[in-house]
């Protein structure tokens, strides 16, 4: 026996979970395993896609493994699978073109690759044919010979053992084919998972793919667990009769000279010959506009520096592209837009009107945006009005054409909820059990444990439950499919489909590439993020309404920049009182409890406010030190003077990404690019696990410089938190501008703000009910939806402002509010109405409809639509309440329409009403309220709890509006409709619930333990009664729940039915089943479910 | 569902008509609990048990179809999702609904009510109508009769709500909303006026529409002008109202199906011997045959009713694999049935009736000249009918292929049905891998002295004390356990096709892979090739 170790081996038939539901390991796991087994090289060849290769390549770089990107070509029109590995850059380009052709021909997610494509495009690649030996020999041989003829010695014959009992015969058969076709025989193992343990997960994903329970998948399940990566010695043993096949793997690897690192990006030249000169011209021109009073020296200096750097890196065309997109949106379409993110660190971007953060006022860190060392492209993200982003996207397609631009992909992967649901389905659980299970998972949370299973109604001792939980956990973060990124455009000078395959999206006119944002970053492809932001739509509407109704206050149409300049104390005072419902970013529960503590007094405080209520600072324990120092309870301390410069503006506490990076650079001894890599590695540290290395280095460097280790660790913890959730200061500043702008409108023109935000729904944190309530509490009259008075959108109607209507808690706004209009709700507020129908109604309205029948005949709307309007109580202007309108609407029918047709031409002729009068009982107010809720989720007439107040008072339930009179620490009971449940990622499973009664809202804190006890109630109840301890700090009041009851049933009493006599037999009061009431009719169902935020 | 048909002429009400309506709101749970605890479960001692809920599927979710009083006491309601219910009350027991069994039970209850009146109609899934016109005095008057029915049903383990009225509609409403009431003729208007709309047997949609305009009691509907109501809510509303009030007659349809064909014989001298009954069956079957031939039909279902002198009726039913009219065959089948049925003749039977409950076209076949039927499938079907008449429906099974990699699971057995044997085999996808002609019911251990490591065949093996030397072998075919149903540590098998020196071929497997367990893997023989 020879003492030499096993021969060298490389594996090329490898599929990862990017072969969507056909393999069961991540690319990274495969790379690590290949490294562990000391493979000489490894390729990744997923089914007709290269979606996973960048991840594998990045991992292989770290592991030091020779990695080759490839693709397994699977033909739709028969023929054996072929492994295709590009030998050079040109080969890669052709592979991408081939896949693009197949993608274009097929459906989304199902490329249609034909043999012809292969013969047309496969030059410049090393190819391994994987024949299915159960197929007729003649056909196989014919294919092999034609491949040989076409591509010569670039073709191999790949063979893998199957363990079906006839492997010896199969291997000899393959060897014979190899001789007959003159193609060298190459060993592969046709890997579907890195470890034998994953066989069961493969079966699970197979069941998911086939949409059948595992027990019915039958022969499609794996018969054994042999499709895992094997040690080289084992591969050598399996091919011991043909050792040459093992050696061929190395020869195959040696032909592959292409690496993803070779992809370099050329940005399209804009129309001009000298992009840099054009950029400079535009920048200086913009600078003059930005600073009409003269350019500050500091700004001038930054522009010069930035322009130099841009010239050096050749990014001028990129800036020109973004500038052109923004110019188009703003000037040609009048779309509101604003850059966000790190680009706001750039003075050039400010001058080009891409971003709005003024470098004269703010300290910008240009390195965060761009650096020479970092060979990564800058990333400019621009927000547009969310309803009009499509116009911008259409412009980009038109300008650059489909072969030069496409969207980035976003990998939709399995999260706790979806993983649990799909796996439960694969195990044959009924749909409602699946729903219950996945419903027990909170949002995006990734905990899939026994608690969740139990809450979903599963027996945790059961074997099936154990299987479900285990496999759902394994499935977490597996890609499900690719979808388009929200707005990341890649634009290239050369053909984009030679960089990366382009695929169809769910939308016919859009295309995307196969790589996501991180992949594109890793290979250095430039992208522009065209994002959608609801608040911009809302603000544009605010400006429109202001111009339309308050032109006398403002001689010219205002713009965002005008508001930025109009810094008003009243706006800050309002925010200090946490009067921020509807205001961008600072309207969440956590933000609202921070506002009175942080007490923003100037713009920079808003920047901090936006950034501080984030998981990063919270997990890094930065919030309390900052607040203490701000309140002067704790001195600002700087372990070393150099920190004062970095952290001075945040009182010595690092709050922003830029600050942390600066610490890493100036104290940790990192280079700028290393610091940025550190930041990025945080975001992906689950995948790469490089964090520990950085941590040690940074802490050691800081301690060496004389910093306390505790401080160093805290700094690092801060970075860790930032990884996924932190804000760069520039981004916070961009957002803070919108915070101020929206707060400005809310403070001075609550009528305008209310109408604009209602018309921009859905957006933000609150539903229309809360927004309307808030406006009314600020003294704004809100008028009902009416078929004769409403437009589709909410509108403003003249109405003198009466400060007496302002709720006491907002009385300080008395002299601030400048409104002189009432809000008329739009027809859009009524659920289930089509915009087209309502536009017809408005168009035909003329001087108004006189009766339900008149409306019907003139609009020709279907009676069901009219019933819906009647249900929404929208006929009051013609003297009909809901009930009368319904009675009239129900009388409409087709037969009568026919006889009524002649009247259509003469709507003024009224149909004589010969019907005997029917006396209908008056609908009680409480029933009206319930039905208002059913039709539009809120009621202007009253709050449902007002009708229950007497009863609640008997139970010592404290109205929410009186919580401020309760002593801190007392145990009390409150009740209300559940508005919002929120479980912030930073709060360790704590749930914040907001409940509402007729007097106001109460904030409930539910600790995880209490949540476990009352889970179905917390998640499902519409009306709750909560008992707990009152906590009050800095004017922020919470009730820490220890007991939560579902009292939704009490809403029954509000409906007429609930007030009826009890018909149940007197002898048997409790046990008699009442005739089944359909659930959907229960009044509690009319109540909104409450919104969940995570 | 009973067939209800109306007659539009008012005032055609038979004078003095009285209808007793019964409602069994707990029928499905009672069916289950009676089986478990005996029919005295409501009256006797109550053992500790979990609240019981019966579930059914509705729009892709499982909801509560019925629940017992204990579950009701927890606040659960019909229509609530099972998942929600279980999340709220993990202790409840949930049983899948069996509507067919409930229907059978309700039919049996209807049969049982024969004791009060022959005119019993089934109403929906959980109600009965008894037309007791002129019967009440036999039971001591209406009041006593009502009590008697409810008490006797309670003794049988059923909770029945009952009411008596002059119209089915009124009685129905009474049973559901005025338990125990007796509404005199003409008292309908008053009795109904306070009841909710549901008392009119309206669909939920109509009820909701009426309620939304504030009409929530029958009284309100009665007070409103009729034309506007009809225009908005359809004719059904007024029809139901008129039926309940007796303005429109409503017939109830008798429960027992009117047989398609029936022949009966009244006996002057009651018979009790089985032989006599069989003879009578043959003679009735011959009469029936004539009727069937005239119609070109054969029977698919038969019922033999034996009317005992004391009024008790035994009913024996037969379902047939294919249409039949041959009298001796019918006689044979009932012979099997009678042999296993517990017929207590006591004083003997005074009437016997043979009914064809279902018929189907019968294709006449040319009988072979020998006079014997040579149609094999026909014989098979008749054979199957006979065996099952005697041994029960589950006595005959047939094999079926199952898509499983594990050889012993690749086949299962299902109840035999003539004609489908061949089809089943073709449907199942079969893997291309060779399987032995004969698979042992249970793998038998063999001794293997030496085998190639790690995954080679044995050189020889000893099975049932005989030593076989392996001349040739092929393998391994590796079959791993079905992880989702087998034990976690179930071993993988490596199968080998081996041939001994005399050319006999065996299917052996090694259980477990070398090196995965501390013990050496064991070998088994699982099948024999030809």
Residues 6 or more apart in contact with residue A11 via CB below 8 angstroms? A34, A39, A42, A43, A188, A189, A191, A229, A249
Residue A962 DSSP class: G
Edge to edge, the sheet with strand A782-783 lists: A782-783, A821-824, A795-798
**Across the strands, what pairs with B479?**
B493
Dihedral angle computed from the Cα positions of residues A939, A943, A944 and A948, in that order, rounded to the nearest 10 degrees: -160
Rg (Cα) of chain B, in Å, rounded? 33
pLDDT tens for each residue of B439-449:
898 999 999 98
Rounded to 5 degrees, what angle do the CA atoms A994, A996, A1000 make? 110
- Token readout for A198 is 């994953």
Inter-chain CB proximity A920 and B213 less than 8 Å: yes
What's the pLDDT band for A601 if we cut at 50, 70, 90? very high
Interface test with A, best of B69, B87, B215 (most A CBs within 10 A): B87
Alpha carbon of A211: minimum distance to chain B alpha carbons (Å)? 16
Classify residue A294 by its DSSP letter: -
Q: Which of A200, A871, A921 sits opposite B483 (nearest CB)?
A: A200
Kindly list the residues from chain A whose CB atom is less than 8 angstroms away from the CB atom of residue B177: 1063, 1065, 1075
Q: What is the helix (H) or strand (E) element at residue A214, kind and residue range?
A: helix A214-217
Going by C-beta distance under 8 Å and a sequence separation of 6 or more, which residues neighbour residue A562? none
Q: Is B6 helix (H, G, I), strand (E, B) or coil?
A: strand
Q: Of the given ranges (A161-170, A178-187, B106-115, B161-170), which has the lowest mean pLDDT? A: B106-115
B411 contacts chain A (CB < 8 A): no
CA dihedral A436, A438, A444, A450 (to 10 degrees): 100
pTM of the shown model: 0.72
Packing angle of the helix pair A729-748, A569-576 (nearest 10 deg): 100
Closest-CA distance of chain A to residue B6, Å: 25
Backbone torsion region of residue A799, taken as left when φ is above 0, otherwise alpha when ψ lies between -120 and 50, otherwise beta: beta
Nearest alpha carbon to residue A157 among A129, A177, A123: A129
Predicted ipTM?
0.70
**How far is residue B209's CA from residue A887's CA, in Å, rounded to a whole number?**
10
Q: Using CA atoms, how far apart are residues A252 and A87, in angstroms rounded to an integer?
A: 10
Let me know how many helices (H) and strands (E) chain A has, helices first. Answer: 47, 23
B81 contacts in A (CB within 8 Å)? Answer: 432, 436
Shortest Cα–Cα distance, A206 to chain B (Å): 14
The alpha helices in A550-668, defined as continuous H runs, are: 560-565, 569-576, 589-598, 603-612, 615-619, 623-630, 641-647, 657-666
Could you report the per-residue pLDDT of A9-24, keeping only the tens digit for each?
A: 999 999 999 999 999 9
Whether the CB of A1066 is below 8 Å from some CB of chain B: the reply is no
Q: Which of B176, B229, B495 sits opposite A165 (nearest CB)?
A: B495
Query: Which residue among A169, A218, A1070 sits closest to B403, beta carbon to beta carbon?
Result: A218
- Tell me whether A78 touches chain B (CB under 8 Å): no
A911 touches chain B (CB under 8 A): no
Nearest CA in chain B to A199: B483
**Sign of the CA dihedral running A97, A102, A106, A109:** negative
Confidence (pLDDT) at A258: 95
Read off the pLDDT of residues A883-894 as tens digits, 9 standing for 90 and up.
Answer: 999 999 988 865
| Average pLDDT of span A130-138 | 89
Residue A1023 CB-half CA count within 13 A: 22
Using alpha carbons, select from B439, B380, B433 the residue that is nearest to residue B411: B439
What digits encode the pLDDT tens for the residues B32-53? 988 888 877 887 777 788 899 9
Task: Tell me, yes or no, if A633 comes closer than 8 A to chain B by beta carbon.
Answer: no
Tens digit of each residue's pLDDT (9 = 90 or more) over A516-535: 988 888 887 878 889 889 99
Ordered DSSP codes for A815-840:
TT----EEEEPPGGGSTT--HHHHHH
**Percent of chain A scored above 70 by pLDDT?**
87
Sign of the dihedral defined by the CA atoms of residues A662, A663, A664, A666, in that order: positive
Report pLDDT for B2. 30
| Cα distance between residue A990 and residue A984, in whole Å | 8
pLDDT band at A688 (very low <50, low <70, confident <90, very high): very low
Residue A504's H or E segment, with its range, is strand A502-504
Of chain B residues 476-505, which have a CB less than 8 A from chain A? 476-480, 482-485, 492, 495-497
More confident residue, A911 or A136: A136
| Residues 122 through 141 of chain A touching chain B, CB cutoff 8 Å | 134
Q: Quick check: B83 and A1068 CB within 8 A?
A: no
Structure tokens at A76: 């739709």
- Whole-number Å distance between alpha carbons of A740 and A566: 10
Closest partner residue to B431 (CB to CB) among A199, A219, A427 is A219
**A-contacting residues in B 211-230 (Cβ below 8 Å):** 211-217, 220, 223-225, 227-229
Q: A890, A931, A1067: which to substitute to probe chain B, counting the most B Cβ within 10 Å? A: A890
Spatial separation of the C-alpha atoms in residues B339 and B329, rounded to whole Å: 15
Residues of A in contact with B434 (CB under 8 A): 165
How is the beta sheet containing A527-533 ordered, strand by strand?
A337-340, A380-385, A527-533, A479-491, A405-413, A511-516, A502-504
Would the CB atoms of A200 and B73 count as touching at under 8 Å?
no
Do residue B477 and residue A164 have CB atoms under 8 angstroms apart? yes
Strand A155-159 versus strand A185-187 pairing type: parallel
Q: What is the mean pLDDT of chain A?
A: 85
pLDDT mean over B401-405? 84
Cis preceding-peptide flag for A654 (omega within 30 of 0): no
Give me the pLDDT at residue A98, please.
96
Per-position DSSP letters for B277-303, written without gaps between them: HHHHHHHHHHHHHHHHHHHTEEEEEEE
Number of residues written out for chain B = 530
Per-residue model confidence as pLDDT tens digits over A42-58: 999 999 999 999 999 99
Q: How many residues does chain A have?
A: 1094
Residues ≥6 apart with Cβ < 8 Å to A899: none
Q: Would you state the pLDDT for residue A457?
A: 62
Least confident of A642-656, A1060-1074, B243-257, B351-365: A1060-1074
pLDDT at residue number A376: 64
Contact map slice: B 446-475 vs A, CB within 8 A: 474-475
Q: For residue range A805-844, what is the model confidence (pLDDT) as tens digits?
A: 999 889 999 999 999 999 999 999 999 999 999 999 999 9
Q: Give the mean pLDDT of A174-192.
A: 95
Q: Which of residues 348 through 407 in chain B touch A, CB cutoff 8 A?
A: 402-405
Is the distance from CB of A43 to CB of A69 less than 8 angstroms?
A: yes
Residue A144 has pLDDT above 90, yes or no: yes
Q: Which of A192, A196, A224 to probe the B interface (max B CBs under 10 A)?
A: A224
Shortest distance, CA B335 to any CA of chain A (angstroms): 43
Rounded-to-integer distance, Cα B362 and Cα B297, Å: 4
Q: Which of residues 219-258 of A touch B (CB under 8 A)?
A: 219, 221-226
CB contact under 8 A, B214 and A923: yes
Phi, psi of A391 (to 5 degrees): -65, -40
| Residue B434: DSSP 8-state | -
Nearest C-alpha neighbor of A879 from the set A957, A952, A787: A787
Q: What average pLDDT does this structure show over A186-201?
A: 95
- Write down the pLDDT at residue B91: 84
Partner residue opposite A219 with nearest CB, options B82, B233, B405: B405
- Number of A:B CB contacts under 8 A? 175
Cα(B318)–Cα(A117) distance, rounded to whole angstroms?
66
Hey, is B244 helix, strand or coil? helix
The whole-angstrom separation of Cα A373 and Cα B148 is 98
Q: Flag whether pLDDT at A753 surpasses 90.
A: yes
Please name the residue of chain A whose CA is at the shortest distance from the CA of residue B228: A915
Supply the pLDDT for residue A1015.
79
Partner B contacted by A372 (CB < 8 A) = no
pLDDT band at B421 (very low <50, low <70, confident <90, very high): very low
- Could B217 and A1070 be called an inter-chain contact, meaning their C-beta atoms sit closer than 8 Å? no
DSSP state of A647: H
With CB atoms and an 8 Å threshold, state whether B475 touches A1016. Answer: no
- For B345, list phi and psi in degrees, rounded to 5: -75, -30
Contact A489, A396 (CB under 8 A): yes
CB atoms within 10 A of CB B140: 11
- In this structure, are residues A431 and A161 in contact, taking their beta carbons and an 8 Å threshold? no
Of the residues B430, B478, B510, B514, the best mutation for testing chain A's interface (the one with the most A CB atoms within 10 Å of its CB) is: B478
Cβ A163–B478 below 8 Å, yes or no? yes
Flag whether residue A935 sits within 8 Å of chain B, measured between CB atoms: no
Q: Tell me the helix, strand and coil percentages in chain B, rounded to 5.
A: 35, 30, 35
CA distance linking residue A236 with residue A978, whole number of Å: 65
Cβ of A214 and B484 within 8 Å?
yes
Question: Is A165 within 8 Å of B497 when comparing Cβ atoms?
Answer: yes
Q: What is the pLDDT of residues A436-469, one digit of tens each?
A: 776 665 544 455 666 666 666 666 677 888 888 8
For the residues A307-313, what does the mean pLDDT come to? 89
Question: How close A698 comes to chain B (CA, Å)?
Answer: 45
Q: In terms of DSSP bridges, do strands B261-271 and B19-23 run parallel, antiparallel, or are they unpaired?
A: unpaired
Q: How many helices (H) and strands (E) does chain B have?
A: 15, 21
CA distance readout (Å), A671 to A134, A235, A450, A721, B247: 59, 45, 45, 21, 96
Helix axes A672-683, A709-725, angle to 10 degrees: 60
Query: What confidence tens digit (pLDDT) does each residue in B133-149 have?
Result: 877 877 888 999 999 89
Residues B276-309 have pLDDT tens digits of: 888 999 999 998 888 888 888 888 888 888 877 6
Q: What pLDDT is stored for residue B364 in this prediction?
A: 61
């Amino acid at each position: 026996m020879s003492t030499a170790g096993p021969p060298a081996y490389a594996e090329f038939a490898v599929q990862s979970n990017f072969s969507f539901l056909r393999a069961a390991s991540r690319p990274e796991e495969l790379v690590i395993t290949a490294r562990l087994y000391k493979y000489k090289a490894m390729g990744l060849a997923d089914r007709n896609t290269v979606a996973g290769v960048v991840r594998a390549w990045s991992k292989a770089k770290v592991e030091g493994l020779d990695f080759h990107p490839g693709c397994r070509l699977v033909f739709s029109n028969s023929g054996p699978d072929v492994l295709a590995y590009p030998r050079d850059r040109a080969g890669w380009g052709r592979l991408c073109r081939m896949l693009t052709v197949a993608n274009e021909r097929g459906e989304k997610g199902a490329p249609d690759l034909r043999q012809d494509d292969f013969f047309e495009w496969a030059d410049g690649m090393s190819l391994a044919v994987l024949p299915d030996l159960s197929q007729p020999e003649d056909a196989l041989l014919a294919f092999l010979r034609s491949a040989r003829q076409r591509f010569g010695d670039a073709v191999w014959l790949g063979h893998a053992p199957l363990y079906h009992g006839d492997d010896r015969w199969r291997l000899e058969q393959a060897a014979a084919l190899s001789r007959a076709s003159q193609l060298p025989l190459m060993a592969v193992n046709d890997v579907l998972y890195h470890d034998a343990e994953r066989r069961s997960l493969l079966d699970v994903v197979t069941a998911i793919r086939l949409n059948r329970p595992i027990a019915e998948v039958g022969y499609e399940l794996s018969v054994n667990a042999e499709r895992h990566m094997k040690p080289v010695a084992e591969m050598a043993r399996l091919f011991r009769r043909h050792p040459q096949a093992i050696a061929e793997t190395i020869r195959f690897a040696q032909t592959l000279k292409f690496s993803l690192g070779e992809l370099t990006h050329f940005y399209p030249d804009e129309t001009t010959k000298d992009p840099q000169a054009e950029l400079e011209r535009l920048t200086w021109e913009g600078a003059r506009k930005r600073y009409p009073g003269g350019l500050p020296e500091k700004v001038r200096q930054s522009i010069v520096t930035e322009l130099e750097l841009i010239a050096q890196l050749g990014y001028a065309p990129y800036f020109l592209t973004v500038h052109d997109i923004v110019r188009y949106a703003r000037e040609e379409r009048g779309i509101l837009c604003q850059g966000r993110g790190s680009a706001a660190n750039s003075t050039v971007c400010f001058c080009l009107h891409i971003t709005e953060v003024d470098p004269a006022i703010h300290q910008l860190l240009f390195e965060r945006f761009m650096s020479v060392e970092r060979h990564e492209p800058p990333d400019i993200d621009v927000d547009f009005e969310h309803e009009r982003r499509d116009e911008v996207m259409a412009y980009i397609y038109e300008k650059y054409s489909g072969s030069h631009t496409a969207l980035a992909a976003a990998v939709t992967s399995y999260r706790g909820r979806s993983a649990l649901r799909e796996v439960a389905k694969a195990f044959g659980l009924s749909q409602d059990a699946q729903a219950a299970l996945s419903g027990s998972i909170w949002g995006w949370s990734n905990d899939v444990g026994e608690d969740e299973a139990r809450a979903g109604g599963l027996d945790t001792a059961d074997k099936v439950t154990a299987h479900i939980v285990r496999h759902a956990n394994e499935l977490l973060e597996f890609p499900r499919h690719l979808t388009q990124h929200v707005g990341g455009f890649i634009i290239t000078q050369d053909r984009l489909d030679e960089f990366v395959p382009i695929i169809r999206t769910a939308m016919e006119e859009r295309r995307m590439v196969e790589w996501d944002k991180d992949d594109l970053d890793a290979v250095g492809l430039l992208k522009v993020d065209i994002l959608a932001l609801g608040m911009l739509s809302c603000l544009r509407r605010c400006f429109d309404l202001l111009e339309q109704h308050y032109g006398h206050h403002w001689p010219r149409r205002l713009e965002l920049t005008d508001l930025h300049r109009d810094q008003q104390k009243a706006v800050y005072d309002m925010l200090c009182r946490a009067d921020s419902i509807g205001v961008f970013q600072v309207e969440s529960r956590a933000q609202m409890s921070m506002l009175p503590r942080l007490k923003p007094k100037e713009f920079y405080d808003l920047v901090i406010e936006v950034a501080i209520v984030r998981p990063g600072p919270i997990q890094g324990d930065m919030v309390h030190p900052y607040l203490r120092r701000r309140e002067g309870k704790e001195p600002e301390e700087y372990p070393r003077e150099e920190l004062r410069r970095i952290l001075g503006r945040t009182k010595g506490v690092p709050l922003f990404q830029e600050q942390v990076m600066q610490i890493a650079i100036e104290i940790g001894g990192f280079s700028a690019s290393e610091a940025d890599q550190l930041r990025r590695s945080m975001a992906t540290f689950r995948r790469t696990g490089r964090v520990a290395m950085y941590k040690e280095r940074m802490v050691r460097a800081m301690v060496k410089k004389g910093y306390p280790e505790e401080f160093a660790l805290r700094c690092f913890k801060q970075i860790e938190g930032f990884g996924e959730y932190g804000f760069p200061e520039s981004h916070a500043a961009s957002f803070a501008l919108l915070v101020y702008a929206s707060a400005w409108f809310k403070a001075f023109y609550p009528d305008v703000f209310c109408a604009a935000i209602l018309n921009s729904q859905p957006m933000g944190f609150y539903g229309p009910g809360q927004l309307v309530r808030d406006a009314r509490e600020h003294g704004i009259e809100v008028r009902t939806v009416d078929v004769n008075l409403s437009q589709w959108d909410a509108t403003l109607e003249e109405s003198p402002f009466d400060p007496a209507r302002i709720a006491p808690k907002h009385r300080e706004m008395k002299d601030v509010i400048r409104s002189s209009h009432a809000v008329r709700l739009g027809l859009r507020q009524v659920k289930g109405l089509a915009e087209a129908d309502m536009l017809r109604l408005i168009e035909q309205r003329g001087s108004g409809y006189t009766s339900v029948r008149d409306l019907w005949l003139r609009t020709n709307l279907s009676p069901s639509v009219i019933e819906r309007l009647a249900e929404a109580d929208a006929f009051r202007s013609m003297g009909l309440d809901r009930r009368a309108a319904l009675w009239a609407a129900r009388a409409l029918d087709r037969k009568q329409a026919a006889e009524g047709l002649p009247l259509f031409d003469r709507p003024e002729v009224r149909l004589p009403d010969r019907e005997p009068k029917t006396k209908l009982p008056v609908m009680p107010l409480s029933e009206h309220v319930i039905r208002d809720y059913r039709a539009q989720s809120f009621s202007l007439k009253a709050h449902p709890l007002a009708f229950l107040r007497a009863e609640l008072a008997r139970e010592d339930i404290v109205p929410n509006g009186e919580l401020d009179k309760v002593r801190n620490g007392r145990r009390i009971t409150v009740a209300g409709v559940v508005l919002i449940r929120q479980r912030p990622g930073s709060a360790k499973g704590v749930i914040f619930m907001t409940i509402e009664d007729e007097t106001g809202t109460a904030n409930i804190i539910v600790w995880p333990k209490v949540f476990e006890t009352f889970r179905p109630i917390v998640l499902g109840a519409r009306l709750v009664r909560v008992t707990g301890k009152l906590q009050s700090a800095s004017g922020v009041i919470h009730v820490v729940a220890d007991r939560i009851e579902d009292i939704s049933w009490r809403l029954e009493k509000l409906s007429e039915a609930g007030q009826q006599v009890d018909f149940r037999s007197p002898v048997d009061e409790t046990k008699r089943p009442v005739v089944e009431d359909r659930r959907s009719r229960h009044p509690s169902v009319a109540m909104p479910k409450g919104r969940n935020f995570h | 569902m009973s067939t209800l048909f109306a007659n539009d002429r008012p005032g055609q009400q038979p004078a003095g008509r009285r209808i007793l309506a019964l409602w069994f709101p707990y029928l499905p749970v009672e069916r289950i609990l009676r089986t478990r605890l005996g029919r005295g479960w409501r009256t006797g001692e109550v053992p500790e048990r979990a609240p019981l809920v019966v579930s059914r599927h509705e729009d892709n979710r499982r909801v509560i179809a019925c629940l017992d009083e204990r579950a009701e006491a927890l606040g659960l309601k019909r229509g609530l999702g099972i998942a929600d219910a279980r999340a709220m009350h993990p202790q409840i027991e949930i049983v899948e609904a069996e509507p067919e069994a409930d229907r059978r039970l309700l039919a049996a209850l209807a049969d049982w009510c024969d004791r009060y009146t022959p005119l019993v109609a089934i109403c929906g899934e959980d109600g009965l109508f008894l037309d007791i016109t002129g019967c009440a005095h036999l039971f001591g008057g209406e009041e006593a009769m009502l009590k008697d029915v409810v008490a006797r049903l309670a003794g049988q383990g059923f909770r029945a709500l009952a009411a008596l009225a002059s119209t089915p509609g009124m009685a129905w409403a009474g049973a559901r909303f005025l338990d125990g009431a007796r509404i005199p003729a003409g008292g309908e208007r008053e009795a109904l006026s306070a009841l909710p709309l549901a008392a009119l047997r309206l669909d939920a949609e109509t009820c909701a529409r009426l309620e939304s305009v504030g009409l929530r009691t029958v009284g309100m509907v009665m007070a409103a002008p009729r034309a506007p109501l009809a225009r908005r809510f359809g004719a059904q509303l007024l029809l139901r109202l008129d039926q309940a009030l007796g303005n429109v007659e409503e017939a109830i349809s008798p429960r027992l199906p009117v047989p398609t064909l029936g022949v009966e014989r009244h006996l002057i001298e009651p018979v009790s011997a089985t032989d006599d009954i069989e003879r009578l069956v043959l003679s009735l079957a011959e009469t029936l045959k004539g009727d069937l031939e005239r119609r070109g039909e054969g029977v698919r279902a038969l019922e033999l009713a034996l009317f005992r002198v004391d009024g008790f009726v035994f009913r024996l039913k037969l379902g047939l694999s294919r249409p039949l009219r041959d009298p001796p065959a019918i006689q044979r089948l009932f012979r099997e049935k009678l042999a296993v049925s517990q017929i207590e003749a006591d004083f003997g039977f005074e009437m016997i009736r043979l009914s064809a409950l279902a018929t189907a076209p019968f294709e006449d076949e040319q009988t072979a000249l020998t006079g014997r039927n040579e149609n094999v499938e026909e014989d098979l079907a008749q054979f199957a009918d006979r065996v099952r008449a005697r041994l029960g429906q589950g006595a005959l099974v047939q094999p079926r292929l199952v898509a499983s990699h594990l050889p012993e699971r690749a086949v299962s057995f299902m109840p035999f049905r003539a004609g489908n044997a061949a089809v089943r085999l073709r449907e199942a996808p079969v893997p291309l891998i060779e399987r032995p002609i004969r698979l042992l019911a249970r793998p038998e251990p063999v001794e293997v002295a030496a085998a190639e490591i790690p995954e080679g065949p044995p050189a020889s093996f000893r099975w049932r004390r005989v030593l076989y030397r392996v001349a040739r072998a092929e393998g391994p075919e590796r079959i791993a356990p079905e992880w989702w149903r087998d034990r976690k540590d179930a071993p993988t098998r490596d199968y080998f096709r081996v041939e001994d020196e005399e050319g006999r071929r065996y299917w052996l497997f090694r259980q477990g892979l070398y090196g995965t367990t501390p013990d050496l893997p064991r070998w088994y023989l699982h099948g024999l090739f030809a």
